[in-house]
Amino acid sequence: MSPETRHLIELTDAALAADYTRVRRAANAIARELAEGGDLEAAHELRSLLRKKGVPLRASGYVEQLPVDTKSRLPLVEEQGWPSTPILLNRTAGATLQDFISDVHHVEELSRQGLSSRLCLLLSGPPGTGKSLLAGHVASALKRPLYVVRLDSMISSLLGDTAKNVRAIFDFAPAKGAVLFLDEMDAVAKLRDDRHELGELKRVVNTVLQGLDALDDRTVVIGATNHPQLLDRAIWRRFPYKISLGFPDRDVRTEMWRHFLFSDQQHEAAQHLAEISDGLSGADIETIAHTARRHSVLTKREIDLAGVAEAVVNSESGVPMLPPREMLSPDARRDLALRLSAKGLNAPKIAELLGVTRQWALKLLKNEERGDG
Ligand SMILES: Nc1ncnc2c1ncn2[C@@H]1O[C@H](COP(=O)(O)OP(=O)(O)OP(=O)(O)O)[C@@H](O)[C@H]1O
Ligand SMILES: [Mg+2]
C-alpha cells in the first residue's frame, strides 16, 4: 500500500469517527507529501483549509455520546450541519428571528434584570417554507451545534419507552450547549385519534412539558410544526417566541427567484415570476428554478424563462411541475401568454418571459380581447 493510500484511508476513517485531531494529523501528512512531491499549490490550499475551525462536532466518541433508544439502540437525535444557503424571510418573520437571536446573545444581561424568558422558539408553517432551514440558521448564528429530534419517528416506535427517550434528549442537549430542534411537534397530537391510549399520550406530553420546564434559561429549543392548531395548548404556551412561516410574499418570492434561478444576479424576470407564483413555497420555487438551470447547463442554452413560467402556472403548492426539457411549441407559447395575461401580467412582462417582441404580445392580447385570437 502506498503512503498516499494509507493516509487517505486514515483520513476517511477519522472523518467518519468525527475525530478532528486525527483528521488534522492525516491531512497534515498529506500536505507534507504534496509539498515534497512539488505540488506546492495543493499543499498550501490544504494547509489553509486546516487552519479553519470545524463544525463544533464533539471530537472522539461522538456517536456513543448521543442518547439512544433503549430497545433499538438507534440514536434519538442527529447532529445537523449549519446551512450553506441563505434563508429568505418576510419582514415580520425576519424581525422576530433577529429579536430571538439578540435575546439569546444577551441572556445574561436580561436575566440580571429579571427579563429573561425561556429561549424556546416555535416555527409553524406549511411544508417547504423553510422551518428546518431556519432552525439551522439559528444554530449557525449562535455558533452552536444543532441536534434534531424527529418526535414522530421516536413516538411511533414504542410508546412505552417514549417518555424515557424524551427525558434522555432533554438531559443531553443542555449538556452539549446545543440548539435542540424538535421537528414534527404535532406528532403527539396526531396520534390522539389513533389506537393509542389517552393515558399513554398524556404521559408523553407531560414528559415533554417537564423537559421544557426543567431546562436552564440558556438552552435554546426550537420546535416546528405543520399544524399549529393540533399542538397541545400547554406545549404551545412553553414557546414564548413564535414565527409563522407562511408562503412567501411577493418581495420574498422575487428574492427567491433571483437567488435560485439567477444565482443572485439582478434580472427583471425575477419580479415577473414573483407576480405569478403566489402560493408556491420556497421549496417549490427552488425545485422549479434548479431544474431549469440544470436544463440550461446540459443543453448549453440560456435559461428557458418560458419553460419556467409554464411550470409556475401549472404548479400548486407542494406539487411543483417541472419546466419542460424542450422549448415550447408556438401553440403552447400562445396558450401560455394568455394564461399569464389572465394572471395579471401585462404585454411587456409577458414578452420578456416568453422571449418575444412586445408587439407580438400586444397583438395576441388584443386579438384575444376581440374574440378572434
Ligand atoms: N424561506 C426560505 N428561504 C430560503 N430557502 C427556502 C425557504 N423556504 C424553503 N426554502 C428551500 O426549500 C428547502 C426546504 O425547506 P425546509 O426543509 O426548511 O422546509 P420545512 O418548512 O422544514 O418543510 P417540512 O415541513 O416539510 O419539514 C430549503 O432547504 C431551501 O432550499
Ligand atoms: Mg422540515
**DSSP states of 292-345 as a string?**
HHHHHHHHTS---HHHHHHHHHH-BTTBPPPPPSSPPPHHHHHHHHHHHHHTT-
Of 245, 286, 287, which is best to mutate to test ligand 1, by the most ligand atoms within 8 angstroms of its C-beta? 286
Contact 258, 270 (CB under 8 A): yes
Q: Looking at residue 318, what is its pLDDT?
A: 86
* Residues 66-97: b if buried by 16+ CB within 10 A, e if exposed: bbbbeeeeebbbebbebbeeebbbbeebeebb
| Ligand 1 atom with least separation from CA of 126 | 25
Pairing outcome for strands 78-80 and 146-150? antiparallel
Q: Closest Cα to atom 10, ligand 1: which residue?
A: 282
Amino acid at 289: A
Q: Looking at residue 373, what is its pLDDT?
A: 47
Q: Closest Cα to atom 30, ligand 1: which residue?
A: 283
Q: Which residues surround ligand 2, an ion (CB under 5 A)?
A: 131-132
What separation in Å is there between the alpha carbon of 132 and the centre of ligand 1? Answer: 6
Contact 323, 310 (CB under 8 A): yes
Residues 6+ apart with CB under 8 A from 217: 107, 111, 116, 117, 118, 119
Quick one: cell of 95? 424581525
| Ligand 1 atom with least separation from CA of 134 | 18
50 pLDDT exceeds 60?
Answer: yes
Q: Closest Cα to atom 17, ligand 1: which residue?
A: 132
Of 132, 148, 152, 264, which is best to mutate to test ligand 1, by the most ligand atoms within 8 angstroms of its C-beta? 132
Q: Looking at residue 59, what is its pLDDT?
A: 44
What separation in Å is there between the alpha carbon of 6 and the centre of ligand 1? Answer: 40
Contact 46, 7 (CB under 8 A): no
Contact 175, 221 (CB under 8 A): no
Pairing outcome for strands 241-244 and 146-150? unpaired
Q: Looking at residue 174, what is its pLDDT?
A: 79
| Ligand 1 atom with least separation from CA of 86 | 4
286 pLDDT exceeds 50?
Answer: yes
Amino acid at 350: I
Quick one: cell of 352? 420578456
What separation in Å is there between the alpha carbon of 88 and the centre of ligand 1? Answer: 10
CATH 3.40.50.300 range(s) for the chain read 68-244
> Average per-residue pLDDT in the chain?
87
Amino acid at 156: S
Q: Looking at residue 91, what is its pLDDT?
A: 94
What separation in Å is there between the alpha carbon of 210 and the centre of ligand 1? Answer: 30
Q: Which CATH architecture has domain 68-244?
A: 3-Layer(aba) Sandwich (3.40)
Contact 133, 286 (CB under 8 A): no
Q: pLDDT-derived band of residue 60, with 50, 70 and 90 as boundaries?
A: very low
Q: Looking at residue 49, what is its pLDDT?
A: 84
Residues 6+ apart with CB under 8 A from 194: none
Q: Looking at residue 163, what is its pLDDT?
A: 74
How large is the average pLDDT for residues 115-124? 91
3-state secondary structure of 75: strand
The span from the CA of 349 to the CA of 341, in Å, is 9
Q: Looking at residue 123, what is its pLDDT?
A: 97
Q: pLDDT-derived band of residue 245, with 50, 70 and 90 as boundaries?
A: very high
Q: pLDDT-derived band of residue 158, with 50, 70 and 90 as boundaries?
A: low
Residues 6+ apart with CB under 8 A from 210: 167, 170
Which phi and psi (to 5°) does residue 80 adopt? -115, 140
Closest ligand by atom to 83 CA = 1
Ligand 1 cavity residues, CB under 6 Å:
85, 87-89, 125, 127-133, 226, 281-283, 286
Q: pLDDT-derived band of residue 68, with 50, 70 and 90 as boundaries?
A: confident
Q: Looking at residue 152, what is its pLDDT?
A: 67
Question: Could you give the C-alpha distances from 144 to 61, 124, 221, in angstroms and in order?
Answer: 19, 22, 12
How large is the average pLDDT for residues 151-163? 66
58 pLDDT exceeds 60?
Answer: no
77 pLDDT exceeds 60?
Answer: yes
Amino acid at 26: A
Closest ligand by atom to 282 CA = 1
The span from the CA of 93 to the CA of 174, in Å, is 26
What separation in Å is there between the alpha carbon of 48 and the centre of ligand 1? Answer: 32
Q: pLDDT-derived band of residue 336, with 50, 70 and 90 as boundaries?
A: very high
Q: What is the pLDDT of residues 208-217, one digit of tens each?
A: 888 888 888 7
How large is the average pLDDT for residues 185-190? 74
